[in-house]
Structure 1
């Protein structure tokens, strides 16, 4: 991307460092099963079946290592992604929120288990005792690519939380912390249990101590790397998450300090707004200059979910128009089986300009510029349902239909913890390999985060409402 500023780091940039280390080869995906008809009404039995399958995937990801204790997080990706038993904090926060939104009889109980696991990690970090969570944890044993053995579950033999060191997932990002805090506040509200609110407050205080900046653009900075060194970037995505977390903490604690902190995060978002184009920029690399490229999807949809601002609602139209993709088997690098097609949005403006002649990263396949990012497609579907402008519900239903077809047809034969997944359960990250433009890619592997976002969109449950 010659001539462009380097993209500001997001939560997913750190994730990408692991994906580039040597994931397993891309497997053939899909089966010949029938799919739901586009335009299916929300109350149609096919949609309920799709939701039940998604909930079954969340349960399977959570129960993949039954011999390694009841204190556990859920594995984020199918084994075929090559990340072994990695459980990302962000994905597990989403799983909590989706379980609380869903209709599964054991949804609340499962959400409590995951929430208690986040609290355990907060209290039993192997190095720090300051309320932080790491980017990811290991939740089951495996042998790494170099032959080294990782023998533990989520709780190591010495009682500490099993931080994901093999892939370098040891840093602490403000966005991950915020989502964990949002999930804990949801549990606090649902259960009335004080421990969840206390954990969320500890997260908020960590962010205040480690993220607050007085740089010209303000807001809260990215977080720290695994060596506990502060990172210089400030993310629109992260500050959007904080608008929700701080707003919830203000409401639940009655402490006005959280309202001031929420206002600081929101002020940063206002500075990232581009009124002429009707979209939000990604953030800043130095706290002084706005980073104008690439422009990601989530800064358009999450801001609407968190702010519910008519003045900024055009960001959804920008995402739906400028990031729209249609993936099908006739495309050069598509991995979609013959006869299938999927519509939705891609990750960022840079994804549409990806070099289709080169792998995304070492040992990875070449990207498809029209690969559908299903997590982001669910963001957009939910945000359109929240906005409720003319045509929004119909567009959202088409997007949900696309995600449900993907759950039905893509990612066949994949496993979690070596165990076969329930049939047609779990949404893959992307319809075909896609380059995010932020140094990593997404692939057709069943994914906890994408599945959780699908459920929240299908159930009209906005996780960012304060």
Structure 2
């Protein structure tokens, strides 16, 4: 993140409790011995299987809440706490990054109702793409679900950020992989072409992709590690689905930019400044570490995961886990706990399985006990007011994106890659 991120919202929060030995590599994985008579009783460890089922129930309710007669549905991203109670208004926008994660989480489990709901959200993403006022293949940052329920497109976040395009593209690629319906691949290719036409920078080294466009059409000239990691995954998926090697070449450009952002001590910097070349060294965000690993599968980023464990771990009351960046490590980011757990599971170095399981166990505890929770969904942060370091604060409210990341981590499903056939 070197400017507005894929989320472009001043709020994302996370909570996770991690055993004391988690980051020393000596934690013992949860054994499932907790009593199943009352898995929510005080002192009993939450049951993993029940926890996953409850998290899907949370997503089901959010998807089903705002649908029109044509079957278009968009789930609100946040609910409760700051977004419902504190300002006396109910904040309902649906962020397409979160929507993409919901789609991918549904394909990870893949039950018939999961695929039905994934298609309902995916079809809505195609609907907003087709009905954009510019109509050049893009999607916007967020939309109003109340508008969707009334059969119309109401844009609440008009920016066109590169990472958002990539995440929606990966969701549509997943749907094409799961269903074989050509419309999803067509939509993904339109997004990819918009990215290539409007953000590719092969002039200012390190080469890569810029941040996208603002509402007025002006270009964001900085380059983001986060966005280029997204594109490394998205373009690789398109290469696999289409057989067109040009997408593999473009994925290599994005991966090359990410590699250029890795510092001498192993961490990955956020991206560049406005000149598109000078490295932006502060703050250092979590997702630049975890997503670089997940999107590329390159072992060079093992050191970025180790750096994360040494530098980005927060403790907030009973909760412990990664924060958003090194700016503020006083609170825990549940969404980040999900993608760190997944990255550790997939790296599978000594101690990683126990570390990942401890992170998942702590998310489950937060699912049960965190403030503003409902016992099903995952709140974004352990407590309100987490400073991202990018000019926004994140709050402890129920979040579809954090819930979806938890489900992907629990399933061991990497959203940057297509499932094996």
Shared fold, TM over 0.5: yes
Q: What is residue 48 of structure 2 aligned with on the other side?
A: 47
Residue 175 of structure 1, aligned match among 149, 154, 163 = 163
Structure 1 unmatched runs, 5+: 1-6, 21-25, 30-36, 141-152, 329-340, 353-369, 415-422
State the SS of the aligned residue for 2:390: coil
Cα 1:79–1:64 change in 2 (3 A) is farther
Q: What is residue 192 of structure 2 aligned with on the other side?
A: 204
State the SS of the aligned residue for 2:350: coil
Structure 1 residue 218: deviation in Å? Answer: 1.5
Contact kept, 8 Å, 2:100 with 2:167, in 1: the verdict is yes
Residue 366 of structure 2, aligned match among 393, 403, 406 = 406
Q: What is residue 351 of structure 1 aligned with on the other side?
A: 328
Of the structure 1 ranges 251-260 and 174-183, higher mean CA displacement relative to structure 2 is found in 251-260
Residue 458 of structure 1, aligned match among 410, 414, 419 = 410
Contact kept, 8 Å, 1:68 with 1:154, in 2: the verdict is no
Residue 302 of structure 1, aligned match among 280, 291, 299 = 291
| Residues 64-79 of structure 1 aligned to structure 2 (within 5 Å) | 64-65=65-66, 70-79=71-80
State the SS of the aligned residue for 2:241: helix
State the SS of the aligned residue for 1:428: coil
Q: What is residue 376 of structure 1 aligned with on the other side?
A: 336
Q: What is residue 364 of structure 1 aligned with on the other side?
A: none
What's the TM-score, normalizing by structure 1? 0.79
Q: What is residue 338 of structure 1 aligned with on the other side?
A: none
Contact kept, 8 Å, 1:240 with 1:303, in 2: the verdict is yes
Q: What is residue 395 of structure 1 aligned with on the other side?
A: 355
Q: What is residue 243 of structure 1 aligned with on the other side?
A: 232
Structure 2 unmatched runs, 5+: 16-26, 37-46, 85-89
| Residues 182-193 of structure 1 aligned to structure 2 (within 5 Å) | 182-193=170-181
Distance in 2 separating the partners of 1:12 and 1:371: 21
Distance in 1 separating the partners of 2:95 and 2:298: 30
Distance in 2 separating the partners of 1:138 and 1:389: 43
Alpha-carbon RMSD: 2.3
1:138 aligns with 2:128: no
Q: What is residue 375 of structure 2 aligned with on the other side?
A: 424
Cα 1:176–1:73 change in 2 (3 A) is same
State the SS of the aligned residue for 1:344: strand
Q: Deviations over 1:385-430 (max 9, x none)?
A: 0000000000111111111111101244x6xxxxxxxx51100000
Structure 1 residue 267: deviation in Å? Answer: 1.1
Contact kept, 8 Å, 2:6 with 2:164, in 1: the verdict is no
Distance in 1 separating the partners of 2:196 and 2:400: 29
Structure 1 residue 198: deviation in Å? Answer: 0.4
Structure 1 residue 41: deviation in Å? Answer: 3.3
Distance in 1 separating the partners of 2:28 and 2:401: 24
Structure 1 residue 255: deviation in Å? Answer: 1.2
Structure 1 residue 62: deviation in Å? Answer: 1.0
Distance in 2 separating the partners of 1:39 and 1:230: 47
Contact kept, 8 Å, 2:66 with 2:74, in 1: the verdict is no
Structure 1 residue 13: deviation in Å? Answer: 6.9
Count of aligned pairs: 386
Q: Deviations over 1:430-453 (max 9, x none)?
A: 001211111111111000000000
Cα 1:273–1:10 change in 2 (3 A) is farther
Structure 1 residue 228: deviation in Å? Answer: 1.7
Structure 1 residue 348: deviation in Å? Answer: 0.3
Cα 1:91–1:191 change in 2 (3 A) is same
Structure 1 residue 14: deviation in Å? Answer: 2.7
Structure 1 residue 61: deviation in Å? Answer: 1.2
Distance in 2 separating the partners of 1:52 and 1:408: 13
Q: What is residue 220 of structure 2 aligned with on the other side?
A: 231
Distance in 2 separating the partners of 1:115 and 1:190: 12
Distance in 2 separating the partners of 1:62 and 1:424: 17
Q: What is residue 62 of structure 2 aligned with on the other side?
A: 61
Structure 1 residue 232: deviation in Å? Answer: 1.7
Distance in 2 separating the partners of 1:171 and 1:265: 21
Residue 9 of structure 1, aligned match among 3, 26, 29 = 3
What's the TM-score, normalizing by structure 2? 0.87
Structure 1 residue 204: deviation in Å? Answer: 0.3
Structure 1 residue 38: deviation in Å? Answer: 8.0
Structure 1 residue 114: deviation in Å? Answer: 0.7
Distance in 2 separating the partners of 1:105 and 1:79: 30
Q: Which structure is higher in RCO with an 8 Å CA cutoff and minimum separation 6? A: 2
Structure 1 residue 74: deviation in Å? Answer: 0.9
Contact kept, 8 Å, 2:342 with 2:414, in 1: the verdict is yes
Q: Deviations over 1:307-354 (max 9, x none)?
A: 1112221111111111011110xxxxxxxxxxxx011110001123xx
